Amino acid sequence: MKKSILLVLVGKRKEEAVKVQQILTAWGCMIKTRLGIHDGVLENCSDSGLIMLELVGEDEKKEELERKLSVLPGVTAKLVNLEVTE
């Protein structure tokens, strides 16, 4: 079994969230699971956030999505492939 997880750290969430969302929407068919986390609520809302994506599809497309997100200022993306060997 193989799983591909894309971790996306958004350092300037208020400035970059719209661009990140546009990219994720364009690549939405590859996203099986999405979890977003940021510290704080209401007036104490953090300007950074973490998005964890479980991806499906071709490895080349997953790597391209990682690159597209990584070029945004204040955004770091890291693709992690996990595989269980028996």
Q: Which residues pair with 33 in a beta bridge?
A: 54
Place of tokens 């595989």: 83
Q: What is the pLDDT of residues 57-74, one digit of tens each?
A: 999 999 999 999 999 999
The domain limits of the chain are 2-83
Tell whether the torsion through CA atoms of 59, 20, 13 and 32 is positive or negative.
negative
**23-39 CB burial, b ≥16 within 10 A, e <16:** bbeebeebbeeeeeeee
In this model, does residue 4 exceed pLDDT 80?
yes
Q: How far is CA 83 from CA 4, 33, 51, in A?
A: 9, 17, 21
Place of tokens 């990682």: 66
Q: What is the pLDDT of residues 37-53, one digit of tens each?
A: 877 766 777 778 899 99
CATH number for region 2-83: 3.30.70.1150
